[in-house]
Every structure is written in C-alpha cells, then in structure tokens.
Homo-oligomer: A and B are copies of this chain.
Amino acid sequence: MGKAEAVLDETMLIRDVDRGSHYIRDWTGEADGDPSFVARPRNVDEVVELVRYCADNGLAVVPQGGHTGLVEGASARIEGGHVLVSLERMNRIRAIDPLNFSVEVEAGCVLEVLHQAVEAEDLMFPLSLGAKGSCQIGGNVATNAGGINVLRYGMMRDLVLGLEVVLPDGRVWNGLKTLRKDNTGYDLKQLFLGSEGTLGIVTAATLKLFPRPSHVETMFLAVETAAEAIRLFAAARRHLADLLSAFELISDRSVELALTMPDLVNPLEMAAPYYVLLEASSSGPLDLEALVGGFLEFALEEGMILDGVRASSVAQAQKIWAIREGVVEAQVKHGTYLRTDVSVPISEVAVCIDEVEVALAGAVADGVVLTYGHIGDGNMHFVVMPPLTMAEGPERHAWIKASEAVIFEIVDRRGGSISAEHGIGRVKRSAFEKRASATQMELLRAIRSAIDPDNRMNPGAIFE
C-alpha cells in the first residue's frame, strides 16, 4: 500500500470503506467484498493510472457499477488484495444525436437518469429493469443486462453501438462509433459485452435510441395454463405486428404474495392459475387501442384467456406493473431463499414450468414456489422459499441447493440456460463450469488469456 500513496491521487480513493456502504454490500445484502481500497476515477486518464498502478503492484482490479447484480460479480474476496473501481463519478451524458437515434454516455450514468435525459428529446432508451434507479450503464454493458423490454428491443448487447474500454495493461480501446453498420474486422465490443469486468473496464458507451412511444397499452390477463400463455404469446406477436413490448407470466401464488404489499389489488374479478402482463407500445398516429381491443376479443373468443383488463389510464397501468414488481419486493421478508434466472426455448416454456412445479411439489413440498418471468423471451425466475420456520444455516442451505438441482436438471434437459440475464459472477460459477463443454471452456480461457494474461481483471468471476 505504500506505493499507492506515492502514485495515486488520494482524492480518487476511499481507504477506510464503510462496511455497510454500497461498495461493499450488494443489493441483496447477501454478499460483501474486502477490497484493499475503493477508487473512484473521474475520467479515462485516472482509470488508466489506476489500472497501471494495480499492474505494478500485483493488485487485482474489480470494476463496479451500481452494485445491483445478483451473482456477486462485483463483490470479491481476492488473495493478494484488490482495488474496487467504482465508475460512479464518470456519469456524464456526453451527447444525444436525435437524427442518428443515438447517445454517448459515460459508464457511471444511472440507467434511469439516461431514460429521463433522452425522454426530454422525445426519444427512448428501452433497456429497463427493476434496479434502474441504481444500476449504471457500465454495469449494464458488463453484464449484458436484460429486463422487461428484451422482447421488442433486445438485451444490452443489441443496444450498444460502441464502447470505450481501458484494458488490463492500461491501453485504451476507443470504439465509440455511432454506426448502425460497420463490418471492419471482428466486432470487438462484443467481447466486453457480458464479460463481467474480466477483460477490461468499460468507461463509456454509444447506444441506440428509439422514438419515444406516444401510446402504451397495458393489459392484465388470466390464463388457465402456461401452455395457453405461450399460445397467446405467438398470437400476440402476429396480431400486434410485433408492437409487443412486454409479455410477463405471473403464477397465482406469485400474485397472492404480491398482494400482501400495501395498496395492491388484483384488477381482475377472478382468480386464475396464471396471469399475463402484456404491454404493446407505438409512436405516431397508429390506433393501438383499437388493435389491442381487437386482440383481446380474439383471445377471449379463442379461449386463450379466461378474462382480461386493459388499463384505461397511466395510473391503472402503473398499478398493474406494481403487481409484477410486488412479486419481487414481497420476497425480502422471507430470509434466505432460492432465486433462479433460467431460460429455455419459448416452445419449451410451458412444459418446463409444469415439470418444475410438479417436481418441486414432490421434492420440497413444504416450501413456497413462485413462478414468474419474461416468458416472451423464454426467461423464467423460479423462486423457492423455505418454510418461515426453517432456521438460517446448513439445513436451509441444503434445502435451497436441492431445489436448485431440481430446476436446473429440467432446464438442462430442455436445452436451456442456468443464467438467462443475471450472468455468472461468483454465485453460478461452479454450476456453469459443470455444464460447459471442454471446447467452450478452452475458448473462454484462450480469450481471457489473450486479453488479460496476468489474470488481474475480476479474477474468480465467471470461471477460474
């Protein structure tokens, strides 16, 4: 640490980090890290200085955005020490180009701040997720974030035009183009998208923007089975001309839990095994209300839905979304439990849900199973909560692991993924390594060694 004082600008550093601060404790409150110190660079030059300092002093580097990830990608305990690099001070929106439908933004910009800035220009940046008030663009890039609009607009990978990255040895790769098409050599930005801080530090990005929707239709629909929900999805894509922007499944048990939150009510008069939150949006004079109204009638006539309600105001739409958000928020008082983030082909979603629910009912009958997720992307978040009477500790841990094994076995069999959008971090590393083929692992290692030969960037994340 002596050398640090000599070389680094102290105004960049926090040496005595509050162990309760967001640098140390993650969003879930479950993970904590032990960095030697926290660095908060203000510009690319300071990031370069930091990275070079770490190289000289044999320190690992762990980049951190809003620290809202769920897989301990930015919470590390690393032998030999590490510097936690928070990008939060690099948070400027550098330029919005309305004619090019693009924006250049620094890594530390909070997602919701970006939303508001581009909305002021009648534009939209579509990536949206629960953590939008805290998560940062750099973290969204590093984790290839997903969320509720992937169906229509894709994941972060699909929204990035260019990146600026500080490499492990302090070189800067400036790939901040704003082109829709650029076939000149390998697409380097793809390497860093989803690399979880293991290949370099993303310091800025250029992103695609879209016309801000002038009309949004939000519906809450009751369906009998997961299979009906998938049939409804295929019909909705076609009927609504791909103007569908969200298609979320929520099981009855999940809605019940959400309704324990204050001020939430089921907008439907009936209870059903599953609910679908369907949203469509458009700009311009298109009559979306009529289109969506026609679709609801069609779906009722075809027997795809049991009942449905269309929000007639923004306030009503927010109340429908509050149920979806309530499913997550209501989980916090349940102690340690299992969260999953799996995906299967959309055509396998229904059978996967049915199998998981039956298998869990057999394996951990005393728990509570919540089934919900972005099923328009094939992405489910099965949540399994042990009985409240079960104490924290090894028994609870084993119970959770057993539930996870049940779910993962079914997902594997259905050609799925054990991490659809959350990434691998440290939490899912062994589950990932177990499933990856030898060739896949060799390719991953070859790339990592080629970019970070000394293994100093976020060591222990994704794979060893």
A184 contacts partner chain B, Cβ-Cβ < 8 Å:
yes
Tell whether A175 pairs with B240 under 8 Å between CB atoms, given A184-B424, A187-B194: no
Determine the residue in chain B with the shortest Cβ distance to A451: B446
Pair B179/A186 contact, Cβ less than 8 Å: no
CA distance A295 to B286 in the complex (A): 11
Interface segment among A97-105, A111-119, A266-274, A392-400: the answer is A97-105
Pair B146/A181 contact, Cβ less than 8 Å: yes
Q: Which residues of B contact A346 (CB under 8 A)?
A: 99-101, 180
Pair B190/A240 contact, Cβ less than 8 Å: no
A230 contacts partner chain B, Cβ-Cβ < 8 Å:
yes
Pair A417/B177 contact, Cβ less than 8 Å: yes
Pair B241/A286 contact, Cβ less than 8 Å: yes
A415 contacts partner chain B, Cβ-Cβ < 8 Å:
yes
Tell whether A450 pairs with B446 under 8 Å between CB atoms, given A158-B158, A172-B439, A241-B284: yes
Q: Which residues of B contact A291 (CB under 8 A)?
A: 284-286
Q: Which of A137-154 contact B (CB under 8 A)?
A: 143-144, 146, 150, 154
Tell whether A180 pairs with B379 under 8 Å between CB atoms, given A193-B187, A440-B173: yes
Q: Which residues of B contact A211 (CB under 8 A)?
A: 237-238, 241-242
Q: Which residues of B contact A171 (CB under 8 A)?
A: 439, 442
Q: Which residues of B contact A345 (CB under 8 A)?
A: 97, 100, 102, 178-179
A405 contacts partner chain B, Cβ-Cβ < 8 Å:
no
Distance in angstroms from A348 CB to nearest chain B CB is 8
CA distance A450 to B285 in the complex (A): 52
A87 contacts partner chain B, Cβ-Cβ < 8 Å:
no
Pair B143/A154 contact, Cβ less than 8 Å: no
Determine the residue in chain B with the shortest Cβ distance to A241: B282
* Most chain B CB neighbours (cut-off 10 Å) among A241, A291, A343, A432: A241
Pair A183/B422 contact, Cβ less than 8 Å: yes
Tell whether A237 pairs with B172 under 8 Å between CB atoms, given A180-B377, A183-B424, A190-B190: no
Q: Which residues of B contact A416 (CB under 8 A)?
A: 179
A234 contacts partner chain B, Cβ-Cβ < 8 Å:
yes
The count of residues in chain A whose C-beta lies closer than 8 Å to any C-beta of chain B is 94
Tell whether A378 pairs with B187 under 8 Å between CB atoms, given A98-B234, A99-B230, A171-B439: no
A437 contacts partner chain B, Cβ-Cβ < 8 Å:
yes
Q: Which residues of B contact A442 (CB under 8 A)?
A: 171
A246 contacts partner chain B, Cβ-Cβ < 8 Å:
no
A8 contacts partner chain B, Cβ-Cβ < 8 Å:
no
Tell whether A184 pairs with B379 under 8 Å between CB atoms, given A97-B345, A190-B191, A347-B97: no
Pair A188/B234 contact, Cβ less than 8 Å: no
Q: A99-B347, A177-B415 are in contact. List 20 more A-B contacts (CB 8 A).
A: A99-B346, A157-B187, A167-B439, A172-B439, A173-B437, A177-B417, A179-B344, A179-B415, A183-B420, A184-B417, A184-B424, A185-B436, A190-B190, A210-B242, A239-B283, A242-B283, A284-B295, A285-B294, A287-B287, A446-B450
Return 15 A-B CB contacts under 8 Å, by A number: A99-B234, A157-B187, A171-B442, A173-B440, A173-B443, A174-B439, A179-B417, A179-B420, A180-B378, A183-B417, A183-B421, A185-B424, A187-B194, A211-B242, A240-B286
Residue ranges of A at the interface with B (Cβ–Cβ < 8 Å): 97-102, 143-144, 146, 150, 154-155, 157-158, 167, 171-175, 177-188, 190-191, 193-195, 210-211, 230, 234, 237-243, 282-287, 291, 294-295, 343-348, 374, 377-379, 415-424, 428, 432, 435-437, 439-440, 442-444, 446-447, 449-451, 462-463
